[in-house]
Each structure stands twice: as C-alpha cells, then as structure tokens.
C-alpha cells in the first residue's frame, strides 16, 4: 500500500525556489533514502512531507487522501513522525523525561517505553541523566526513540548518522533495520551512499531541488559512478 506521496511539488523560501516539481512516494514497509549534497533540497522535502513547508503547487497525499492543506500537528496525528537534523533533545530534562513527553503527546500503539529500552538498552542505563550529557550517538538514539513513542506509521529521519563515528553508525544502521523489520516504514536523508546502500530498499537522488535519479538499491549499485557524480561536492 502506498503510504505517502508528494506529487509535482514546487516549494519556495521567499523568492528562491527550493524544490522544482518533486514527486516521491513511499510504500508501507519500505526503507527509502533521499541522497544528495548539501543544499540539494533533501531537508526541504522532509519539511514538505511533515507540513513545515507548504508547496506553492503540487499535492501531499497520505494513504490516497489529499492532505496538502493539513498542518504539521494534524499530519503527526495521521501518523507521520519526524526526527529533525538537530535532534531537538531537551538538554535540561533527563532521558526519561525526554521520552515521557513523547509518550504523553503522541499516539498510542506498539512502541512503549519498555520496547524502547529493549531496543536501546543504553537509554535505560542513562535514564536519569540530563539530555546534554549524552554522546552524539546516544542523543540520536533518544531522538529516534522519542519519535517512535508517538507511534507513527512513517518515520522521517534527517541525516541520522551525521557526525557520528563509524562504529556508532553501524550500530544505528542495525537499530534502524530492526525498527523497519518490526514494521516501521522509514524515509531517511543522507549525504553519501554508505548508509543508504546498507539499509534502504529504494533511493532518490536529489540535486538542485529536483529528483535526478531514482531506483532500487541494486540499480544504484549498477549506476554507482554516475550517482557518485551527482552527490559529490
Ligand atoms: P543539507 O544537507 O544542508 O541539509 P539539503 O539537501 O537538506 O541540505 P535544504 O536544506 O533542503 O537542502 O535546502 C535546499 C535549498 O533551500 C538550499 O538552496 C537552501 O539554501 C535553501 N533553504 C533552506 N532553508 C532555507 C531557509 N530557511 N530560508 C531560505 N532558504 C533556505
């Protein structure tokens, strides 16, 4: 089943056009990546999905319904979760308090604190520590956990592995794979091919505010040189 689609979306910041007729879709159960260099338009695509940006033309479609006019909180209630690039951890709240906020605000469902602590045992160890005492990898785990606790059907992740050491990246990739295997649909943004190749089923390459290429991960491997050129800085 198709969960989400953007159809021919044009998006602007003032007079500057950031997205040109972008169309993407995500089916239930998939892991899909948006890949591209800095400033390509990837974050803007996620913001358009979650309603932080409204397209000047084009449509946002959720399970076949036109939801272009919906606001971010309404899209959240429909089942779209979002982990922003800056993670937005509350520094002065404990790990547990950071998680409790999501539990209180979100939808109820299969993702509970118990399940989160099974997925990320380090968060249980750190439950009473302040958010700003966590390492970058732990903060990312907390940010993902908080989004999971709102029980979305589609989870958007903006550069979840940015700035993290290779071993931590591998750990996060394993966690994201398990989260997907447990039924969560994922759409993630990355600047290079490393994580998308390991994790995603399908890929969109974004450059200059347009989708330049899309295909399966096998297609990506077959066209790797061409795609490396599209995303190299
Ligand atoms: P990054 O990896 O840096 O996050 P990105 O691929 O996510 O890059 P976007 O952040 O979506 O790219 O930016 C796309 C274009 O829109 C860029 O030209 C950027 O300068 C512009 N842009 C993004 N945010 C704003 C803003 N708040 N105001 C004006 N222009 C913006």
Query: Residue 89: its pLDDT value, please?
Result: 86
Closest ligand 1 atom to Cα of 44: 11
CATH of the domain at 88: 3.40.50.300
Q: How far is the CA of 158 from the centre of ligand 1 (A)?
A: 12
Place of tokens 């160890």: 125
154, 31 contact by CB (below 8 A): no
Residue nearest to ligand 1 atom 3, measured at CA: 38
What is the 124 CA–ligand 1 centroid distance (Å)? 35
Residue 85 has pLDDT above 90, yes or no: no
Mean pLDDT of 178-197: 95
pLDDT at 36 over 90: yes
Q: Which whole number is the average pLDDT over 145-161?
A: 96
Task: Report, as an integer, the average pLDDT of 53-82.
Answer: 96
Q: What is the pLDDT of residue 175?
A: 96
Nearest CA to ligand 1 atom 20: 39
pLDDT for residue 108 is more than 90: no
User: In the prediction, which pLDDT does 90 show?
Assistant: 87
Report how many domains make up the chain. 1
Residues with CB under 6 A from ligand 1: 13, 16, 18, 36, 38-44, 191
* Boundaries of domain holding 200: 2-231
Q: Which residue has the higher pLDDT, 208 or 91?
A: 208
120-134, pLDDT tens digit by residue?
999 999 999 999 999
Residue to substitute in 6, 20, 22, 40 for testing ligand 1 pocket (most ligand atoms within 8 angstroms of CB)? 40
Q: Mean per-residue pLDDT for 189-213?
A: 96
- Is residue 12 predicted with pLDDT exceeding 90? yes
Ligand 1 center from residue 116 Cα (angstroms) = 32
From the number of C-beta atoms within 10 Å of its C-beta (0-12, 13-18, 19+), residue 183 rates as: exposed
233 contacts: CB under 8 Å, gap ≥ 6: 37, 38
Q: What is the pLDDT of residue 180?
A: 97
Residue nearest to atom 4 of ligand 1 (CA): 43
């Amino acid at each position: 089943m198709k969960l989400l689609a953007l159809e021919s979306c044009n998006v602007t910041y003032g007079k500057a056009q950031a997205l040109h007729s972008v169309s993407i879709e995500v089916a239930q159960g998939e892991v899909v990546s948006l890949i591209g260099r800095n400033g390509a338009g990837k974050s803007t695509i996620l913001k358009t999905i979650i309603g932080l940006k409204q397209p000047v033309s084009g449509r946002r479609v959720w399970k076949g319904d036109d939801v272009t006019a919906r606001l971010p909180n309404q899209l959240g209630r429909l089942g779209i979760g979002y982990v922003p690039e800056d993670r937005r951890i509350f520094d002065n709240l404990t790990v547990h308090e950071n998680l409790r906020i999501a539990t209180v605000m979100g939808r109820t469902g299969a993702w509970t604190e118990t399940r989160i602590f099974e997925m990320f045992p380090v968060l249980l160890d750190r439950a009473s520590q302040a958010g700003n005492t966590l390492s970058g990898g732990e903060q990312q785990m907390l940010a993902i956990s908080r989004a999971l606790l709102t029980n979305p059907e589609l989870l958007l992740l903006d550069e979840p592995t940015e700035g993290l050491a290779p071993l931590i990246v591998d750990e996060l990739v394993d966690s994201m794979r398990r989260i997907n295997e447990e039924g969560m649909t994922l759409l993630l943004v990355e600047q290079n091919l490393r994580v998308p190749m390991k994790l995603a089923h399908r890929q969109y390459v974004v450059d200059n505010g347009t989708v330049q290429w899309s295909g399966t991960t096998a297609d990506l491997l077959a066209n790797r040189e061409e795609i490396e050129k599209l995303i190299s800085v």
